[in-house]
Amino acid sequence: MKDETSGYLDMDLLRFTTAGSVDDGKSTLIGRLLYDTKQIFEDQMEAVQQASAKRGTGEVDLSLLTDGLRAEREQGITIDVAYRYFATPRRKFIIADTPGHIQYTRNMVTGASTANLAIILVDARKGIQEQTRRHSFIASLLGIPHVVFCINKMDLVDYDQATFERIQRELEDFSSRLEVHDIRYLPISALKGDNVVTRSKVMDWYQGPTLMYLLESIHIAGDHNHVDRRFPVQQVIRPMTTEHHDFRGFAGRVAGGVFRKGDKVHVLPSGFESTIKSINIGEYEVDECFAPQSACMTLADEIDISRGDMIVGANNLPETSQDVEVMLCWFNEKPLQAGGKYAIKHNTRDARCMIKEVLYRMDISTLRKADGDPTLKMNDIGRVMLRTTVPLHFDKYARNRYTGSLILIDEATNETVAAGMIV
Amino acid sequence: MHSYRLTHLKELESESMHILREVAAQFDNPTLLFSGGKDSIVCFHLALKAFHPAKVPFNLLHVDTGHNFEEAITFRDALVKKYGANLLVGSVQESIDSGRVQEETGFYASRNKLQTVTLLDSLEKFKVDCAIGGGRRDEEKARAKERVFSHRDEFGQWDPKNQRPELWNIYNGRKRPGEHFRAFPISNWTEMDVWQYIMLEKIEIPNIYFSHEREVFERDGVLYANSSFMRLKPEEKPFKKRIRFRTIGDMSCTGAVDSPASTLEEIIEEVASTRTTERGTRMDDKRSEAAMEDRKKEGYF
């Protein structure tokens, strides 16, 4: 408890996703993490016990902790992304708990978009399943830097080392096609608690870390791009008071790199150059700001800058184009219309775009191009060429998750219909 | 070379400032729902940072049930004065007087549910197109599913099964006339984060969050402040006790905790060791398993 209060200034934040289906033990794993780190409160536990008794399942169903909507509890499934929070003395964690069925790909993609790490559960009795591939591919596509494969239900295969090693080899083989550089493999039993928070007493053949140790220690400060300076302008701050009469500050969240006072910067799309006069984070003036800080900067010269513009390092410009090639995840019941027009949001910039061409649809179970009709329907992923009404300033998604991402919006319904990763 | 690493509080602060600026940029008349409770105070504090050195570009809206803790109202008025903010008030009493809602009766009568009508009426009256709230996803199961930018139809209803996907830090605030949004800048904060941040930033909060002596009575294992708004059962006898409040809502539904914690350090230690959730002291959530989801669908915050 002392750690909770005295150490809080030195904790950082790890966001992770767990994707899985009804029976692979995902809810049990989350329940286990929360329970073993003492995050489940008495009244929550009581509510779960009552609800479990009402359903007559006998055992206390920890998944009831995470399924929040009435329809989810009634149907015993997770429909939407649920965010769960817990902390240890070392770190605060945000779990984006997402359903695993193919029809919920859009929720998985949503949860993955902000994650540092993905936990992918594999049933030790079944080995790699179609959905293992799908989850892994989504983690890779969404640029999650760290993936942990948990070979779960080891208790049901007598904690057999050979079974674990066989599945690990299969996973390694298949992961070589993914673009994830940090992949770990763990034998666990979420139900019995082996290697989740506490080390397994039975699997003495496994010498690696527990899942909790990994979550607490994995290096995440390097997950942000601190090389290419990118500052999408959200707002122009003009107090117009006597005290700050001529103040014109540019507010935004650093999307990449480190900006320092005195740095020479380039403004897009105008192309004007200037130097940074001051940087503020809230009321504090600072010498530098870096991704993902929210800051406000002023420039030495009076130049016209407004929302949607981007301040970047003078010697390292992003790409600028009206022709943008993306991997697109389609979210809407109405399929993507080739030649269709959509509103587009990229950083702080709003524009419109036309679908020039659907190059191909992915078969996300085999990670290969699908044959035949390339129409993107709900939960499909494909490679698409867009033509935008104004030039976008972007980096490839693999280089920067924030300047490389965009969403499409149906102009008639205002719904978010797709997420795009620029390739 | 030093490492560019943010603590969890600074990362959350940065995320919230970004959200508040997106709200200001995407809506014509965003308004901060301000109750005088700690979560709305933290939201206001984050808005001060997001728009510094300019003024906070939002009006404050207090949905006043009339059953207030006097201390919260005093605090609210002092804050409004200090920062030159513009306060709007939506009154549940007026909704009752005008016949828009019917006052509940009985021992468990509360104006909590009535607030929804007053809130929706106020949003319409003041032409608010985005109501910013201090709701957090860790508070309650239905809230765990809420988007940061949460769309409401022309009846103010939330459709939890049909929410817009929200990716990266791109927020889609597009809407049709008559519809509005709720925005939750501290979605990802926990109760502990809020307390730690209040301590870190030395943010002023109403004194009833700290331990003090007050006349209370016990109902269903929960301590309530004795006030003229509460109808006591014959067996309920008020007594004096050192308590504090963990949340501040309407007096008729906010329970007190038996606590000696009189400093932020002590509160944080207490929160760290507490075995019930914050909303465990809220009578309004105890009505059914889906109490919050049902109220939220109707337009509650």
Give the Cα separation of A370 and B214 in Å (integer).
70
Q: Which residues pair with A258 in a beta bridge?
A: A290
> Is residue B110 pLDDT above 90, yes or no?
no
More confident residue, A97 or B8: B8
Strand A341-346, strand A349-363: pairing: antiparallel
B231 close contact with A: CB closer than 8 A: no
More confident residue, A274 or B115: A274
Contacts of A224 in chain B (CB under 8 A): 4
More confident residue, B254 or A298: A298
More confident residue, B270 or A254: A254
Strand, helix or coil for residue A175: helix
* pLDDT value at residue A105: 82
Contact A277, A263 (CB under 8 A): no
pLDDT tier at A6 (50, 70, 90 boundaries)? very low
* pLDDT one-digit tens code per residue, A175-218: 888 889 899 999 999 888 899 999 999 999 999 999 999 999 99
Of A83, A253, A405, the CB nearest to B18: A253
Whole-number percent of chain B with pLDDT over 70: 90
Q: Which helix (H) or strand (E) holds A73?
A: helix A70-75
Select, from the ranges A67-71, A314-318, B293-297, the one with the highest average predicted confidence (pLDDT): A314-318
**Lowest-pLDDT choice from A148-162, B237-251, B262-276, B281-295:** B281-295
> Is residue A67 pLDDT above 90, yes or no?
no
Q: Which of residues 14-43 of A touch B (CB under 8 A)?
A: 41-43
**Lowest-pLDDT choice from A22-26, A207-211, A291-295, B87-91:** A22-26
* pLDDT value at residue B289: 52
Q: Which residue of B has its CA nearest to A220?
A: B5
Residue position matching structure tokens 């809502």? B249
**Lowest-pLDDT choice from A32-46, A300-314, B153-167, B247-261:** A32-46
Of B48, B53, B145, the CB nearest to A80: B145
More confident residue, B154 or B14: B14
Contacts of A68 in chain B (CB under 8 A): 140-145, 293
Which candidate in A5, A217, A233 is best for mutational testing of the B interface (most B CBs within 10 A)?
Answer: A5
> Is residue A5 pLDDT above 70, yes or no?
no
* Chain CA centroid to CA A294, Å: 19
More confident residue, A355 or B2: A355
Contacts of A87 in chain B (CB under 8 A): 190, 192
Which CA distances in Å does B249 have to A378, A385, B282? 42, 52, 9
Q: What CATH number corresponds to the domain at position A267?
A: 2.40.30.10
**Lowest-pLDDT choice from A71-85, A182-196, B142-156:** A71-85
> Is residue B130 pLDDT above 80, yes or no?
yes
Which CA distances in Å does A359 have to A327, A332, A385? 10, 19, 7
Rg (CA), chain B: 19
* pLDDT value at residue B98: 83
pLDDT tier at A382 (50, 70, 90 boundaries)? very high
Domain identity same for A121 and A167: yes
Q: Mean pLDDT, to the nearest integer, of A75-82?
A: 66
pLDDT tier at A276 (50, 70, 90 boundaries)? very high
Give the Cα separation of A123 and A27 in Å (integer).
14
Tell me which of A258, A280, A313 is where a domain ends.
Answer: A313
Tell me which of A313, A345, A370 is where a domain ends.
Answer: A313
pLDDT tier at B296 (50, 70, 90 boundaries)? low
* pLDDT value at residue A3: 39
Tell me which of A170, A205, A223 is where a domain ends.
Answer: A223
Give me the phi and psi of A2, to 5 degrees please. Answer: -60, -40
Q: Mean pLDDT, to the nearest integer, of B256-273?
A: 89
How close does chain B come to A21, measured CA to CA in Å?
A: 18
Q: Mean pLDDT, to the nearest integer, of A49-74?
A: 62
Domain identity same for A364 and A216: no
> Is residue B277 pLDDT above 70, yes or no?
no
Give the Cα separation of B16 and B102 in Å (integer).
37
Domain identity same for A267 and A326: no
CB atoms within 10 A of CB B228: 7
More confident residue, B268 or A279: A279
Domain identity same for A121 and A165: yes
Domain identity same for A257 and A369: no
* pLDDT value at residue A73: 56
Domain identity same for A197 and A277: no
B233 close contact with A: CB closer than 8 A: no
* pLDDT value at residue A2: 36
Choose among A360, A357, A412, A366: nearest CA to A385. A357
B5 close contact with A: CB closer than 8 A: yes
Q: Which two tokens stand for residue A93?
A: 């964690």
Q: Mean pLDDT, to the nearest integer, of B84-106?
A: 85
> Is residue B140 pLDDT above 80, yes or no?
no
* pLDDT one-digit tens code per residue, B178-189: 899 999 999 999
* pLDDT value at residue A31: 82
Q: Which of residues 335-354 of A touch B (CB under 8 A)?
A: 343, 345-348
B83 close contact with A: CB closer than 8 A: no
A234 close contact with B: CB closer than 8 A: yes
Domain with CATH 3.40.50.620 in chain B: 8-194+290-298
Domain identity same for A80 and A197: yes
Give the Cα separation of A142 and A327 in Å (integer).
10
CB atoms within 10 A of CB A78: 26
pLDDT tier at A74 (50, 70, 90 boundaries)? low
Give the Cα separation of B33 and A321 in Å (integer).
41
> Is residue A59 pLDDT above 60, yes or no?
no
* pLDDT value at residue B180: 93
Choose among A317, A342, A318: nearest CA to A328. A342
Domain identity same for A45 and A147: yes
Give the Cα separation of A277 and A279 in Å (integer).
7
Choose among A308, A144, A305: nearest CA to A238. A305
* Chain CA centroid to CA B140, Å: 13
Contact B69, B225 (CB under 8 A): yes
**Lowest-pLDDT choice from A288-302, B53-67, B270-284:** B270-284
Per the CATH hierarchy, to which homologous superfamily does domain B8-194+290-298 belong? HUPs (3.40.50.620)
* pLDDT one-digit tens code per residue, B37-55: 999 999 999 999 999 999 9
pLDDT tier at A56 (50, 70, 90 boundaries)? low
Whole-number percent of chain A with pLDDT over 70: 88
In terms of C-beta density within 10 A (0-12 exposed, 13-18 middle, 19 or more buried), how is residue A189 classed? Answer: buried
* pLDDT one-digit tens code per residue, A37-48: 776 666 666 777
Q: What CATH number corresponds to the domain at position A75?
A: 3.40.50.300
Structure ipTM? 0.91
Domain identity same for A97 and A210: yes
Select, from the ranges A6-10, A106-110, A246-250, the one with the highest average predicted confidence (pLDDT): A246-250
Residue numbers of the domain that contains A75: 2-223
Give the Cα separation of B183 and B22 in Å (integer).
10
Give A135-171 as a DSSP string.
HHHHHHHTT-SEEEEEEE-GGGGTT-HHHHHHHHHHH
Select, from the ranges A176-190, A255-269, B90-104, B112-126, the one with the highest average predicted confidence (pLDDT): A255-269
A67–B141 CB contact, under 8 Å = yes
Strand A249-253, strand A284-286: pairing: unpaired
* pLDDT one-digit tens code per residue, A153-169: 999 999 999 999 999 99
* pLDDT value at residue A34: 83
Q: Which residues pair with A255 in a beta bridge?
A: none
B25–A234 CB contact, under 8 Å = yes
How close does chain B come to A330, measured CA to CA in Å?
A: 11
CB atoms within 10 A of CB B255: 23
B10–A293 CB contact, under 8 Å = yes
Domain identity same for A17 and A111: yes
Give the Cα separation of A379 and A138 in Å (integer).
11
* pLDDT value at residue A201: 93
**Sign, CA torsion A71/A67/A85/A47:** positive
Give me the phi and psi of A274, to 5 degrees please. Answer: -160, -175
Q: Mean pLDDT, to the nearest integer, of A380-396?
A: 96
Q: What is the mean pLDDT of chain A?
A: 88
pLDDT tier at B1 (50, 70, 90 boundaries)? very low
**Sequence-separated (6 or more) residues with CB below 8 Å from residue A55:** A61
* pLDDT value at residue A71: 60
Domain identity same for A83 and A172: yes
Q: Specify the number of domains making up chain A.
A: 3
* pLDDT value at residue A7: 54
Domain identity same for A13 and A142: yes
SS3 string, chain B, reads: CCCCCCCHHHHHHHHHHHHHHHHHHHCCCEEEECCCCHHHHHHHHHHHHHHCCCCCCCEEEEEECCCCCHHHHHHHHHHHHHHCCCEEEEEHHHHHHCCCCCCCCCCCCCCCCCHHHHHHHHHHHCCCCEEECCCCCCCCCCHHHCCCEEEECCCCCCCHHHCCCCCCCCCCCCCCCCCEEEECCCCCCCHHHHHHHHHHCCCCCCHHHCCEEEEEEEECCEEEECCCCCCCCCCCCCEEEEEEECCCCCCCCEEEEECCCCCHHHHHHHHHHCCCCHHHHEHHHHHCCCHHHHHHHHCCC
Q: Mean pLDDT, to the nearest integer, of B80-84?
A: 95
Strand, helix or coil for residue A41: coil
* pLDDT value at residue B292: 63
